Chains A and B, each alone.
Chain A
Amino acid sequence: AQSVAQPEDQVNVAEGNPLTVKCTYSVSGNPYLFWYVQYPNRGLQFLLKYITGDNLVKGSYGFEAEFNKSQTSFHLKKPSALVSDSALYFCAPYSTLTFGKGTMLLVSP
């Protein structure tokens, strides 16, 4: 079985500061994982994925995620947040493509 958890409903960060959106996983087999972003009144957009290889994955819009097997985590990060990054972020396992409530990221000016 594969599942993910996003422990924070909301993350608040000031523009220019680094941001982290957390995701932990519980999978049997290969932990292939995705991050998606949803802007208001839009469908989900793919950000990045971990399949195999480097634990640090770079994606769209300056985002990156670090896969940590020992901590079973796949946290989304960005060195310097923008107000336009404010959106709903989802982590999901590749195999089932199931999502939860996501994490709302709010970046203040």
Chain B
Amino acid sequence: DSGVTQTPKHLITATGQRVTLRCSPRSGDLSVYWYQQSLDQGLQFLIHYYNGEERAKGNILERFSAQQFPDLHSELNLSSLELGDSALYFCASRGGGNTEAFFGQGTRLTVV
């Protein structure tokens, strides 16, 4: 158990809908990272938050947004969903210093 919790584990929704994925980091970790993993694109970095503030943005679509709350949990919002958004979405958390990141088990999103 990595200590990082992602909910839900599975999500099936229709095109055009909006979903929210949730990530609870390890206790005390201030950084949260979001990733999208698909067979053809690999593990793509989406966004990084540190203590509530956005630190870096990767290949995140405008239809997607994220935030980190004062209790440090984070949410990834995906809207106007398309079939191509079907993927595994991971979050990871990291503490300070030269520490490694710990990953959640992911949310598998299927858009039908």
Check if A98 sits within 8 Å of B103, measured CB to CB: no
Check if A97 sits within 8 Å of B43, measured CB to CB: no
Q: Does B90 contact A (CB under 8 A)?
A: yes
Q: Does B112 contact A (CB under 8 A)?
A: no
Q: Does B92 contact A (CB under 8 A)?
A: yes
CA distance A46 to B103 in the complex (A): 9
Check if A99 sits within 8 Å of B43, measured CB to CB: yes
Pick from A51, A94, A96: contact of B45, CB under 8 Å: A96
If A43-B2, A44-B92, A97-B33 touch, whether A102 touches B43 (CB-CB below 8 Å) is yes
What residue of chain A has the Cβ atom nearest to residue B102's Cβ?
Answer: A46
Q: Does B100 contact A (CB under 8 A)?
A: yes
Residue numbers in A under 8 Å from B51 (CB-CB): none
Check if A49 sits within 8 Å of B100, measured CB to CB: yes
Residue numbers in B under 8 Å from A36 (CB-CB): 103
Check if B90 sits within 8 Å of A101, measured CB to CB: no
Interface residues of B, count at CB 8 A: 23
- If over half of A's interface residues share one DSSP class (helix, strand or loop), that class is named, otherwise mixed; here it is loop
If A34-B100, A49-B100 touch, whether A43 touches B45 (CB-CB below 8 Å) is no
If A97-B45, A99-B35 touch, whether A46 touches B101 (CB-CB below 8 Å) is yes
Interface residues of A, count at CB 8 A: 19
Q: Does A100 contact B (CB under 8 A)?
A: yes
Q: How far is the CB of A38 from chain B (nearest CB, A)?
A: 8
If A43-B103, A44-B103, A46-B100 touch, whether A97 touches B92 (CB-CB below 8 Å) is yes
CA distance A31 to B94 in the complex (A): 18
Pick from B43, B104, B105: contact of A100, CB under 8 Å: B43
Q: Interface of A with B (CB < 8 Å)?
A: 32, 34, 36, 42-46, 49, 51, 90, 94, 96-102
List 21 contacting pairs A-B, 8 Å CB cutoff, sorted by A. Answer: A32-B98, A42-B105, A42-B106, A43-B4, A43-B92, A43-B104, A45-B2, A46-B102, A49-B98, A49-B100, A90-B43, A94-B98, A96-B56, A97-B33, A97-B45, A97-B48, A97-B94, A99-B42, A99-B45, A100-B42, A101-B41
